[in-house]
């Protein structure tokens, strides 16, 4: 069943376009920052963007090893650290996973809506949420670090299928 609400991708949509857009944005961002998007970093980002679901490091490792290569976990973790540092992916703590950032370079706060049934996720940037967090931080003289707020629930398609 299709996701009728904006943000969640149609199940049949072309992930190739998402991957191509993400890789182009990553190359542009890295070039602007003087950072090197190596082959392995690019490949890890491509795997992260191969679906609209958070993916764990060992799943990324397994996917990259399908062609017979034997990569060590630290190789994938170093690539993920680079992608996180440059705002190209988000860490999804509740799933010990990573999710591609559709708008690298945005503000330090982002919210992810994550469907607990199908696993799909969508990034949203609600200024009111960011403003509330910033206001609370100011009141408590607290410096906020980059963050991902995870909101768990059920997408429209999964609710309709229930």
What is the Cα–Cα distance from 21 to 34, expressed in whole angstroms?
20
User: What pLDDT, in 10s, does the model give residues 138-154?
Assistant: 999 999 887 889 999 99
Domain 15-161 class in CATH: mainly alpha
What is the Cα–Cα distance from 67 to 59, expressed in whole angstroms?
14
- Structure tokens given for 133: 């967090």
Residue 100, strand partner residues: 89
Residue 9 has pLDDT above 90, yes or no: no
Residue 1 has pLDDT above 60, yes or no: no
The pTM of this model reads: 0.86
User: What pLDDT, in 10s, does the model give residues 82-114?
Assistant: 999 999 999 999 999 999 988 887 666 789 999
Domain boundaries, the chain: 15-161
Residue 73's pLDDT is 94
What is the Cα–Cα distance from 154 to 159, expressed in whole angstroms?
6
């Amino acid at each position: 069943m299709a996701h009728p609400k904006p943000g969640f991708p149609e199940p049949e949509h072309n992930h190739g376009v998402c991957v191509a857009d993400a890789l182009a944005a990553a190359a542009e961002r890295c070039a602007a920052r003087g950072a090197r998007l190596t082959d392995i970093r690019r490949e890890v980002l491509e795997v992260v963007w191969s679906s609209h679901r958070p993916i764990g490091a060992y799943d990324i490792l397994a996917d990259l090893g399908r062609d017979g290569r034997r990569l060590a976990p630290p190789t994938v973790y170093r690539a993920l650290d680079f992608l996180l540092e440059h705002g190209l992916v988000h860490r999804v703590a509740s799933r010990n996973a990573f999710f591609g950032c559709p708008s690298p370079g945005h503000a330090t706060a982002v919210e992810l809506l994550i469907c607990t049934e199908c696993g799909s996720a969508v990034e949203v940037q609600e200024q009111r949420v960011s403003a509330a967090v910033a206001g609370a931080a100011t009141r408590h003289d607290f410096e906020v670090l980059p963050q991902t707020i995870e909101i768990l629930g059920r997408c429209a398609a999964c609710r309709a299928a229930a």
